[in-house]
Amino acid sequence: MPGAQRTSTRRQWVWIGVVAALVTAVVVAVTVVLPGTGDRQVVHRKSVAEAWPGGLARQPASANQPRWHVTAARDAGRVTTAERLAVIADQPLATWLTDPSVPETVDTVRSVLAAARAQQATPVFVLYAIPDRDCGHWSRGGTAEDDYLPWVRAVVRALAGSHAVVLVEPDSIAQIAVCERLRDTRLPLLRKAVGALTGHGLTVYLDGGNENRVPVDTMAGWLRRAGVDRVQGFATNVSNFYRVDQERAYADELADAIGGDPHFVIDVSRNGQGWRGDWCNPDGAGLGQTPHVTRGTTRLDALLWVKTPGLSDGACNGGPAAGEWWESYALALVANRKRD
């Protein structure tokens, strides 16, 4: 072999070696075997700064349902009502994606992302369209069985590279405990959804239920089967009313049971007065503390307003259908709010 050709060949192999080393380093950085997890492959959990750049983004007016009612009240001359409802509308709220229509969902995603980019902050989305949603109860609906994963993939394409936070299907895992027909299908479906969500720069949390609902060891096993080792962690207290200290104790216990140090977020939108004896439009509930990301010194990443305060839990305790605006309840939440 001529000398020049040998030199060229050596250079090629040097570059191949460099590329291989870089690929190996990336893989090791992203997926590692952590102490206490056996041979499970556990994703690197992001710091708060990595997961929530710029803090929490506020919704644009097009997606902010409380804002619509602030505007309507002000236009009708109901100034005091408008000011009280603005206490809700002015906070960073999660955007729920519930419409099985891909074009409608993608339009919502794009408008929220545009607002978040302008604020240089992190938007929070909630996927809530799983088949057999709410096991046919107050929030029943969702996509058809064959449409769910294509719907998730369409959402992922719209979100890719945005560094958004995604909460995956609140209630979807915890509800297995009371809905027998979900036991064989729900966790494999969620695992496929996790597969679609990973690798696109998103920060993902699965459904972690809440205290006093599912035994911790059971929930830990279900979360592992759903793919929690591949995401940032889990969310608790979504649309519920437990106090932060109670939920944080539960979430820490659950994280220990899962292993691999998963992080978590807690919904504090309506827990200002704590548990009121009912999960569905209970009397006396109040807004929780102002949503914010933490300093990142523990596994708690953020306290969020996931449930939109003022939207009914269902046709219970005098409320309208699930997801519909209920002004008197919204005003009561403001009146009973926790003072930071």
- Establish whether 229 is a catalytic residue: no
Helices 102-119 and 148-159 meet at what angle, rounded to 10? 30
The pLDDT value recorded for residue 338 is 87
Alpha-carbon distances, residue 100 vs 96, 128, 238, 317, 321 (angstroms): 12, 9, 21, 28, 18
Catalytic residue among 132, 207, 301, 313: 313
Helices 148-159 and 186-197 meet at what angle, rounded to 10? 20
The pLDDT value recorded for residue 136 is 72
Query: pLDDT per residue over 7-58, tens digit each?
Result: 343 344 334 343 333 333 333 334 445 545 556 899 999 999 999 999 999 9
Round to whole Å and give the CA distance between 103 and 188.
26
H/E run at residue 234:
strand 233-236
Query: pLDDT per residue over 80-101, tens digit each?
Result: 999 999 999 999 999 999 999 9
Contact by Cβ (8 Å): 154, 197: no
Contacts of 24 (CB under 8 A, 6+ apart): none
- Establish whether 207 is a catalytic residue: no
Structural domains of the chain, ranges and CATH numbers in brackets:
47-335 (3.20.20.40)
Catalytic residue among 171, 207, 229, 301: 171
Helices 186-197 and 216-226 meet at what angle, rounded to 10? 50
- Establish whether 171 is a catalytic residue: yes
The pLDDT value recorded for residue 30 is 44
The pLDDT value recorded for residue 38 is 57
Q: Which amino acid is at 73?
A: A
**pLDDT (tens digit, 0 to 9) for every residue of the chain, 340 residues total?**
444 333 343 344 334 343 333 333 333 334 445 545 556 899 999 999 999 999 999 999 999 999 999 999 999 999 999 999 999 999 999 999 999 999 999 999 999 999 999 999 999 999 999 999 988 777 888 999 999 999 999 999 999 999 999 999 999 999 999 999 999 999 999 999 999 999 999 999 999 999 999 999 999 999 999 999 999 999 999 999 999 999 999 999 999 999 999 999 999 999 999 999 999 999 999 999 999 999 999 999 999 999 999 999 999 999 999 999 999 999 999 999 988 6
* pTM assigned to the model: 0.89
Catalytic residue among 132, 134, 229, 267: 134
